Amino acid sequence: MDGRSAQGDDTVAARGEFGLIRAVTAGRSQPSTTLLGPGDDAAVVAAPDGRVVVTTDMLVQGVHFRLDWSTPEHVGRRAVAVNLADVAAMGAVPTSVVVGIGCPSDTPAALVTELVDGMAAEAGRARTGVVGGDMVRADQIVISITALGDLGGRPPVTRAGARPGDIVAVCGRLGWAAAGLAVLGRGFRSPVGVVNAQRYPEPPYAAGPTAALAGATAMIDVSDGLLADLGHIAESSDVGIDVQTDRLPVPQKLTDVGSALGADPLHWVLTGGEDHALAATFPSFTDLPEGWIRIGSVLLPDTGVTVDGQAYERETGWEHWR
């Protein structure tokens, strides 16, 4: 399935740009931070802190999602989730989402409305809303999301604040999306739990601001793999990081899937991307907030990211064009 429809059906071309926009915006609720929602030249969003956290990501059909693996609603949820996870990783509370969608003219209108249904549902899970956007013709489905957030008077938690002696902790699932990708790649559609983890992540949005309040010194969302993303903190902070595998939970479900596929579930946990868990460093005396698990330590520079004190010899995560 490529998301296209025969001519004469209810397509985006039949609806037209403005008819489609009316269809996807009608009846959508907005949070209190939306002062002016869809329908004008631009939205107006409250910024109580006086500063706005902004992030954007693109999802391209065939690169980031496949419609024979995921429903349009799954894709919509995923598109919003990957952006809101970035907002949370700065220690901010999401306030709004702006959407850009490009698709062929013979794309069924229902596919686009289902995409936006998923976007609205995921934005609602983070207690924010889709406040506006744009739709254009394209050769394949392309989704661009911009998400905004509020820091609540706190400084942003960047990748550059980790210091030797800090502890490393994570909150959220690790390895599930990678396991789901392995299952789908073998042509299977179950177990549903791991397959759905690949279709759309469930980032722990509230854990970002909670970590900031607890004194997190650096933070990142795990989009490309735990080791790869901890490497960004290590590089930005000029420190080393060691991950202790005896502290990393490997769920029984991943162990079962790994056994069935002849794969190492710990490798999924260490290097699998797209779960969008949060990883952060904290001063050693910190009582970690609920849901956060200590998995390692911040070391002196020049050690890079190690696993149980040793260099990890396999690929550490995903990088475009590599």
Which CATH number belongs to the domain containing residue 286 in this structure?
3.90.650.10
pLDDT-derived band at 8, boundaries 50, 70, 90 = low
Task: Collapse the DSSP code of 19 into the 3-class scheme (helix H, G, I; strand E, B; otherwise coil) and give the result.
Answer: helix
pLDDT at 230: 97
Q: Is 221 annotated as a binding residue?
A: yes
Q: Is 223 annotated as a binding residue?
A: yes
Chain segment 66-116, per-residue pLDDT in tens: 999 999 999 999 999 999 999 999 999 999 999 999 999 999 999 999 999
Domain boundary residue, one of 150, 185, 212: 150
Establish whether the linkage from the previous residue to 191 is cis, with ω within 30° of 0.
yes
- Do both 34 and 79 map to the same domain? yes
Residue 69's closest CA among 180, 208, 213?
A: 180
pLDDT at 170: 98
- Do both 49 and 184 map to the same domain? no
- Do both 132 and 176 map to the same domain? no
Chain segment 41-53, per-residue pLDDT in tens: 788 988 888 899 9
pLDDT at 317: 62
Task: Collapse the DSSP code of 220 into the 3-class scheme (helix H, G, I; strand E, B; otherwise coil) and give the result.
Answer: strand
Q: Is 166 annotated as a binding residue?
A: no
Q: What pTM value is reported for the model?
A: 0.89
Between CA 179 and CA 194 the distance in angstroms is: 6
Token match 């946990």: residue? 269
- Do both 138 and 36 map to the same domain? yes
Q: Which domain holds residue 137?
A: 17-150
Please indicate, yes or no, if residue 160 is contained in any of the structural domains. Answer: no
Q: Is 10 annotated as a binding residue?
A: no
Return the minimum-mean-pLDDT range out of 7-16, 154-163, 174-183, 302-311: 7-16
- Do both 144 and 211 map to the same domain? no
The CA–CA distances, whole Å, from 61 to 80, 93, 110, 285 equal 15, 29, 17, 45
Q: Is 68 annotated as a binding residue?
A: no
Residue 243 β-bridge partners: 296, 307
pLDDT at 31: 84
- Do both 302 and 171 map to the same domain? yes
Return the minimum-mean-pLDDT range out of 1-5, 105-109, 163-167, 195-199: 1-5
Q: Is 176 annotated as a binding residue?
A: no
For 31, phi then psi, to 5°, come to -75, 170
Share of residues in the chain with pLDDT > 90 (%): 80
- Do both 194 and 118 map to the same domain? no
Q: Is 49 annotated as a binding residue?
A: no
- Do both 145 and 215 map to the same domain? no
Q: In this model, does residue 1 exceed pLDDT 70? A: no
Show the beta-strand stretches assigned E in 138-285: 142-150, 167-171, 218-222, 240-243, 277-282
Please indicate, yes or no, if residue 4 is contained in any of the structural domains. Answer: no
Query: How many residues are present in the chain?
Result: 322
Q: Is 292 annotated as a binding residue?
A: no
Please indicate, yes or no, if residue 128 is contained in any of the structural domains. Answer: yes
Handedness of CA 266, 218, 33, 141 (dihedral sign): negative
Please indicate, yes or no, if residue 155 is contained in any of the structural domains. Answer: no
Chain segment 221-261, per-residue pLDDT in tens: 999 999 999 999 999 999 999 999 999 999 999 999 999 99
pLDDT at 307: 97
- Do both 179 and 72 map to the same domain? no
Q: Is 238 annotated as a binding residue?
A: no
pLDDT-derived band at 7, boundaries 50, 70, 90 = very low
Domain count, the chain: 2
Q: Is 134 annotated as a binding residue?
A: yes
